[in-house]
Amino acid sequence: MNTLSINQLSLVYKNDIRALDNISLRIDNGMFGLLGPNGAGKSSLMKTIAGLQKPTKGDITFNDTSVVKHPAFIKKQLGFLPQDFGVYPKISAYDLLQHLAVLKGIIHPDERKRQILALLEKVNLAAFKDKEVHTFSGGMKQRFGVAQALLGKPAVIIVDEPTAGLDPEERNRFNTLLSEISEDVIVILSTHLVEDVRNLCSQMAVINKGKLVATGKPSEMVVALNGKIWSKQIDKKSLPEYEGTYPVICKQLIEKSLHITVFGTEPPEGFLPVIPTLEHVYFQKLKNIE
């Protein structure tokens, strides 16, 4: 079992932006979803976990070794799948993996070849090993990204917004691949797609403005909202009035009419009960509605 322990972590950039504010989290094997709006601090947290930048305060330990004091320790055991690789060199998928494997320190040629072929098989790209990666579809590029992240058998894999720009079928295939991988390692999935976290992650955290606003098991967090979510179709003009009266979690246009969802321990007048979803949990925590 691997354990990543984040202890009272703060990060203030040179421009005085407090990107992380006293975050404490424990992450074990399996898929961990990191949710938050743009600018919440997700990338800052992932870069700090990866040992790419030092926090201003606090510590991160991976299997009891400090990542802050010994960044090389985690770097050796980490696979990173960024949102976008930028431009690919004009070489085949196999040759690119070869090159990246050397950079990762897989020095033995036979071991390198064995790992690369096994990974191409795993991500379903074996038939395309001689094709140049820049000719791949979005989904194929993401699967190639998984293959490169898995080189060297990492114990921690960080994926940043991996399904952005994928069509639904590619997204499904990619998500299945991620969940297969996460059985024996830590996979941290940073995203703003609540549905992906619901489908894939056994643990999650919500961060907002650098602060941890919630952490737990998605299924338990949803159950905790049972009997507390209510919805009503309203007239657009009366929205400000409703917003002034009730803790509104979300607003949704359904077939051109406006529906509002509110949080409440008692049923509000004229509202109907709604089965809670992780999206309700997300907005409730972001808006700090109790």
Ligand X SMILES: Nc1ncnc2c1ncn2[C@@H]1O[C@H](COP(=O)(O)OP(=O)(O)OP(=O)(O)O)[C@@H](O)[C@H]1O
Looking at the Cβ atoms of 78 and 225, the one nearer to ligand X is: 78
Q: Is 17 in the site for ligand X (CB under 6 A)?
A: yes
Residue from the set 44, 163, 175, 208 that interacts with ligand X by CB under 6 A: 44
Q: Which of 12, 21, 4 is nearest to 211 (CA)?
A: 21
Q: Is 265 in the site for ligand X (CB under 6 A)?
A: no
Q: Is 42 in the site for ligand X (CB under 6 A)?
A: yes
Q: Which of 248, 244, 240, 237 is nearest to 271 (CA)?
A: 248
Contacts of 287 (CB under 8 A, 6+ apart): 247, 249
Q: Which of 197, 267, 164, 183 is nearest to 32 (CA)?
A: 197
Q: Is 52 in the site for ligand X (CB under 6 A)?
A: no
Contacts of 80 (CB under 8 A, 6+ apart): 50, 149, 157, 158, 160
Residue from the set 3, 13, 84, 227 that interacts with ligand X by CB under 6 A: 13
Q: Which helix (H) or strand (E) holds 215?
A: strand 211-216
Q: Is 38 in the site for ligand X (CB under 6 A)?
A: yes
Looking at the Cβ atoms of 96 and 213, the one nearer to ligand X is: 213
Looking at the Cβ atoms of 164 and 274, the one nearer to ligand X is: 164
> Could you tell me how many residues of this chain bind ligand X (CB under 6 A)?
12
Looking at the Cβ atoms of 40 and 125, the one nearer to ligand X is: 40
Q: Which of 265, 273, 266 is nearest to 232 (CA)?
A: 273
Residue from the set 39, 89, 227, 267 that interacts with ligand X by CB under 6 A: 39
**Piece of the chain touching ligand X by CB under 6 A; list 2-10, 31-39, 140-148, 196-204:** 31-39
CB 19 within 8 A of CB 13: yes
Q: What's the rounded Cα separation, in Å, for the pair 126 and 112?
A: 15
Looking at the Cβ atoms of 49 and 106, the one nearer to ligand X is: 49
Q: Is 41 in the site for ligand X (CB under 6 A)?
A: yes
Q: Is 55 in the site for ligand X (CB under 6 A)?
A: no
Q: Could you list the residues that contact ligand X (CB under 6 A)?
A: 13, 15, 17, 19, 36, 38-44
